[in-house]
Amino acid sequence: MGNIVAIGYGNDLRSDDGIGQRVANTLQLSNVKSLAVHQLTPELAEILANANLAIFIDACLISENYQVQVKSLSPESFNVIAGHTADPRSLLALTQAIYGHCPRAWWVTVPGVNFEFGENLSPLAEQGIEIAIDKINHLIKTARKELCMKLA
């Protein structure tokens, strides 16, 4: 499967807010460019323009179902991109506008409960990271199968 990029983002000095970075740093998959960043910046558009598949990983406030969520993304402008954007859809829209292409994209959100200053993750976040990695592996495996079927 062409270029795959996984971007985990969040503040790793705010406990569970660092989930996205932790997942990105843990991913060790061949043919996957994994980036751990504090925030989504316009500079990432160039990397996305050269990707066939993008997976964004972020923490979220705990929801009713306490589960890791995987959502398909499309480019949408939600806010002006000045120094950074908190929404991957805006970054995809920027990529599309500048480069005329944006990759197929997924958003993996992992619930957290502790967003205070600190570097330790909650047990819920630790468990969510394991689940997120499994879901990301499944997304990549499925995308590679789909490409093989198209080429056959």
Is residue 18 within 8 Å of residue 1, measured between CB atoms?
A: no
pTM of the prediction? 0.91
Identify the pLDDT of residue 146.
Answer: 80
Token code pair at residue 49: 């323009």
Count helices and strands (H / E) in the chain. Answer: 4, 5
Q: Report the run of H or E that residue 4 belongs to, with start and end.
A: strand 4-9
Q: pLDDT tens across 93-129, in order?
A: 999 999 999 999 999 999 999 999 999 999 999 999 9
- With a cut of 50, say whether residue 1 has pLDDT above it: no
Q: pLDDT tens across 17-68, in order?
A: 999 999 999 987 777 899 999 999 999 999 999 999 999 999 998 866 679 9
Spell out the residues 6+ positions from residue 44 whose beta carbon is closer than 8 angstroms to its own. 7, 35, 37, 91
Identify the pLDDT of residue 81.
Answer: 53
Domains and CATH numbers, the chain: 4-151 (3.40.50.1450)
